[in-house]
């Protein structure tokens, strides 16, 4: 049993309240000063099925999810039978008394005894789990008070009593689980998931317009923006479809809003036409694409990294773009903020490519530093420079972007090939000039590329190349690797454009390079090959809809090495 972390998995049917229990428990874990990583697996249904809410807590930074379970809280028989095999030696199973657990020793909670009504079963479970992992009762009580604050004293009182009873009941049992994690970096940290962090990064960048069409697992980006931003002046609309969402974003951005759209692969496929429009009309927009397995409707609630090709090639014609792929909520926040600055500066679409695993996994993070963020570029509201030409040909390809309606100068944006003054043209020289002007913006974007992060010693025997949230699994795999080779990780959080000089040395000096990706065809390895000519020969690929884990990476490495 590893002493580093405790992995608590709550499993049950949708509608059984496992998310409520999980969220309260997670928040308590963070408030108690521990690090945490929550991964959720759920099925595409509102009731029933088997969902899990896994809380991995530890005293040290946790990089990724894990498959072994220290405490399994089974809310039904299916959760028990499906996951009991993953419980480690010395681990604990917690269950009610309404189904059989066979030979397996388990802490059986008499829910009927401890709760006056089924409504309180969640609170019972919270009390028992809180006690088994050694949380102070006061932290749990404060949380309940906050959670039920609006429902009045009576509800709070009743829940507090149930909590105390459950906590006391668990204190009286000897359930043979005594492992504790040391404190992490103390209280005061934020707890949030990737999608929430993207929304907050957008708000921090001044995003004040979001149009979207709901699609799991991207919707919570928009939901968070609306919940937090609308009271502060953000405009939002649930469009009739993705075509409308992206075009609405075009209109808003042209008229001076700082604009975001959010969707997943299937919806993004529909947005492609207007991505091209953003390119030619030079309209800034930040597109959040939260991946799930495809093709087509794929697996709505599972994860994959297979939309990189789509995002890289979305839109007909040629125009500049940048693509970020955050690994953690911190990166979600800071890279989304940066995406706004790039979109605004270069007047082109910029993408943040996330995935379901990151979207739904909660972590504890250092509170984001608003004061330390760089300013985001803004369009012009006034024009005193003589005749205004929306598509003036400049050296860096960036034309002054004026907002219509604020000055006498007229602002004319166009989807056709056009001249500097937006007149439609088929003149070959003008076409070449304008297309070249737009593509010149690529040099600016290129200058601003964030290079990959390298983790490990020089000239490693094996270099794992990954992008996006696959980082966590790679880092932990390196950590837990017990063989005789030296391992290192090269992680890309910006996947396009690429600057060879930022990473070629790492690739060339490693003994062996292995691409680790959440897709079946090593899409990013192909991007590297296309951009640099460097072919990564070995791969660990996962495309079963589940997030990469360190166990999966190590197993893959064993097969290769």
Partner 1 sequence: MVSIEEYGDFDTSWCPGCGNFLILKSLKQALAVQGIAPRDVIISSGIGQAAKLPHYLRCNMFNGLHGRALPVAQGIKMANPEAAVLCVSGDGCTYGEGGNHFLAAIRRNIDLTLLVHDNQIYGLTKGQASPTSARGHVTKAQPEGNRSDAFNPVSVAVAMKAGFVARAFSGEPEHLSEVIREAMAYKGFSLVDILQPCVSFNKVNTYGWYSQRVYFPQNHDPSDWGAAMVLSEEFGDRIPLGIIYRAEKPVFGLGARLAEHEYDKNDLKAVLQSYT
Q: For the chain, how long is the longest CA-to-CA vector?
A: 85
Least distance CB 71 / partner 1 (angstroms): 25
Q: Which stretch binds partner 1 (CB under 8 A): 79-87, 96-104, 134-142, 403-411?
A: 403-411
φ, ψ dihedrals at 210, nearest 5°: -135, 130
DSSP string, 512-536: EEEEEESSSS-HHHHHHHHHH----
- Residue carrying the six token digits 């966590």: 472
Are 457 and 511 spatial neighbours (Cβ–Cβ below 8 Å)? no
**Helix, strand, or coil (residue 552):** helix
User: In degrees to the nearest 10, what's the CA dihedral of 453, 550, 43, 270?
Assistant: 30
CB contact set of 153 (below 8 Å; sequence gap of 6+): none
How many other CB atoms are there within 10 angstroms of residue 266's CB atom? 17
Among 82, 137, 179, 228, indicate the residue that binds partner 1 (CB under 8 A). Answer: 228
Q: Which is nearer to partner 1, 112 or 417 (CB)?
A: 417
Does position 251 bind partner 1 by CB under 8 A?
Answer: yes
CB contact set of 82 (below 8 Å; sequence gap of 6+): 11, 50
Are 155 and 147 spatial neighbours (Cβ–Cβ below 8 Å)? no
Q: Which is nearer to partner 1, 187 or 483 (CB)?
A: 187
Q: Which is nearer to partner 1, 165 or 407 (CB)?
A: 407
Nearest-angstrom CA–CA distance, 305 and 44: 19
Among 82, 145, 412, 526, indicate the residue that binds partner 1 (CB under 8 A). Answer: 412
Q: Which is nearer to partner 1, 281 or 356 (CB)?
A: 281
Contact letters for partner 1, residues 139-168 (x by CB under 8 A)? ------------------------------
Nearest-angstrom CA–CA distance, 288 and 261: 6
Does position 410 bind partner 1 by CB under 8 A?
Answer: yes
Are 270 and 241 spatial neighbours (Cβ–Cβ below 8 Å)? yes
How many other CB atoms are there within 10 angstroms of residue 529's CB atom? 14
Does position 413 bind partner 1 by CB under 8 A?
Answer: yes
Among 221, 277, 473, 541, indicate the residue that binds partner 1 (CB under 8 A). Answer: 277
Least distance CB 350 / partner 1 (angstroms): 18
**C-alpha 361, offset from chain centre:** 7
How many other CB atoms are there within 10 angstroms of residue 499's CB atom? 17
Does position 382 bind partner 1 by CB under 8 A?
Answer: no
Distances from the Cα of 263 to the Cα of 245, 273, 556, angstroms: 10, 15, 32
Does position 263 bind partner 1 by CB under 8 A?
Answer: no
Q: Which is nearer to partner 1, 120 or 213 (CB)?
A: 213
Does position 282 bind partner 1 by CB under 8 A?
Answer: no
Q: Which is nearer to partner 1, 141 or 242 (CB)?
A: 242
Q: Which is nearer to partner 1, 258 or 542 (CB)?
A: 258
Q: Which stretch binds partner 1 (CB under 8 A): 6-14, 81-89, 233-241, 351-359?
A: 233-241
Q: Which is nearer to partner 1, 204 or 471 (CB)?
A: 204
Terminal alpha carbon distance of the chain: 26
Nearest-angstrom CA–CA distance, 122 and 111: 10
Contact letters for partner 1, residues 187-226 (x by CB under 8 A)? -xxxxx---x---x--xx-x-xx-x---------------
Site for partner 1 in 479-538 (CB under 8 A): none
- Kindly state the number of chain residues that form the binding site for partner 1, as judged by CB under 8 A: 63
Nearest-angstrom CA–CA distance, 139 and 24: 10
- Residue carrying the six token digits 């997030």: 547
Does position 235 bind partner 1 by CB under 8 A?
Answer: yes
User: Using CA of residue 380, residue 385, residue 388, residue 389, what is the dihedral sign?
Assistant: negative
Q: Which is nearer to partner 1, 109 or 205 (CB)?
A: 205
Least distance CB 464 / partner 1 (angstroms): 32
Nearest-angstrom CA–CA distance, 407 and 56: 55
Q: Which is nearer to partner 1, 257 or 311 (CB)?
A: 257
Least distance CB 47 / partner 1 (angstroms): 29
Least distance CB 197 / partner 1 (angstroms): 9
Q: Which stretch binds partner 1 (CB under 8 A): 88-96, 272-280, 431-439, 471-479?
A: 272-280
Among 96, 256, 265, 326, indicate the residue that binds partner 1 (CB under 8 A). Answer: 256
Among 1, 119, 370, 535, indicate the residue that binds partner 1 (CB under 8 A). Answer: 370
Residues that bind partner 1 (CB under 8 A): 188-192, 196, 200, 203-204, 206, 208-209, 211, 228, 232-233, 235, 237, 239-241, 243-245, 247-258, 273-274, 277, 281, 367-368, 370-371, 379, 381, 403-416, 422-424
């Amino acid at each position: 049993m590893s002493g580093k972390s405790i992995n608590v998995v709550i499993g049950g049917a949708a509608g059984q309240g496992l998310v409520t229990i999980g969220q309260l428990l997670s928040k308590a874990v963070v408030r108690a000063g521990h690090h945490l990583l929550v991964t959720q697996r759920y099925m595409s249904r509102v009731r029933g099925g088997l969902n899990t809410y896994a809380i991995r807590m530890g005293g040290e930074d946790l990089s990724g999810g894990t498959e072994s379970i220290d405490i399994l809280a089974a809310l039904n028989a299916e959760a028990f039978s499906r996951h009991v095999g993953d419980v480690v030696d010395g681990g604990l199973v917690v269950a009610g008394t309404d189904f059989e657990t066979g030979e397996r020793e388990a802490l059986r909670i008499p829910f009927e005894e401890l709760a006056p009504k089924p409504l309180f079963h969640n609170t019972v479970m919270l009390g028992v789990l809180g006690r088994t992992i050694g949380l102070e009762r006061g932290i749990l009580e404060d949380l309940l008070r906050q959670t039920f604050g609006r429902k009045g004293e009576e509800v709070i009182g009743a829940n507090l009593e149930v909590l105390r009873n459950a906590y006391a009941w668990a204190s009286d049992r000897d359930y043979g689980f005594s492992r504790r994690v040391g404190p992490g970096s103390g209280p005061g940290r934020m707890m949030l998931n990737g999608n929430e962090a993207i929304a907050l990064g957008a708000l921090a960048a001044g995003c004040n317009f979001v149009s979207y069409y709901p699609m799991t697992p991207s919707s919570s980006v928009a939901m968070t923006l609306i919940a937090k931003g609308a009271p502060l002046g953000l405009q939002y609309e649930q469009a009739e479809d993705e075509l409308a969402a992206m075009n609405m974003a075009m209109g808003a951005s042209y008229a001076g809003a700082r604009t975001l759209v959010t969707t997943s692969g299937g919806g993004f496929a529909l947005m492609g036409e207007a991505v091209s429009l953003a390119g030619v009309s030079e309209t800034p927009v930040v597109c959040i694409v939260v991946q799930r397995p495809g093709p087509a409707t794929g697996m709505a609630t599972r994860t994959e990294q297979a939309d990189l090709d789509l995002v890289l090639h979305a839109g007909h014609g040629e125009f500049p773009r940048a693509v970020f792929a955050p690994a953690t909520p911190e990166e979600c926040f800071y890279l989304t903020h940066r995406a706004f600055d790039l979109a605004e500066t270069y007047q082109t679409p910029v993408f943040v490519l996330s995935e379901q695993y990151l979207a739904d996994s909660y972590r504890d993070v250092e509170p984001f530093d608003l004061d330390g963020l760089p300013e985001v570029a803004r369009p012009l509201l006034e024009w005193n420079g003589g005749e205004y030409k929306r598509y003036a040909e400049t050296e860096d390809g960036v034309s002054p972007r004026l907002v219509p309606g604020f000055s006498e100068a007229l602002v004319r944006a166009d989807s056709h090939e056009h001249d500097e003054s937006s007149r439609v043209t088929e003149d070959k020289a003008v076409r070449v000039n304008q297309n070249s002007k737009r593509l010149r913006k690529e040099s600016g974007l290129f200058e601003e590329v964030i290079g990959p992060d390298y983790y490990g010693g020089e000239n490693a025997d094996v270099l794992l190349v990954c992008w996006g949230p696959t980082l966590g699994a790679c880092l932990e795999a390196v950590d837990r690797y017990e063989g005789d080779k030296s391992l290192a990780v090269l992680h890309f959080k910006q996947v396009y454009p690429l600057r060879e000089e930022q990473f070629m040395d790492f690739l060339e000096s490693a003994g062996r390079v292995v691409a680790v990706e959440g897709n079946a065809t090593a899409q990013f390895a192909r991007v590297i090959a296309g951009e640099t000519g460097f072919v990564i020969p070995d791969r660990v690929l996962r495309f079963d809809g589940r997030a990469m884990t360190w166990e999966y990476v190590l197993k893959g490495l064993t097969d290769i090495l």
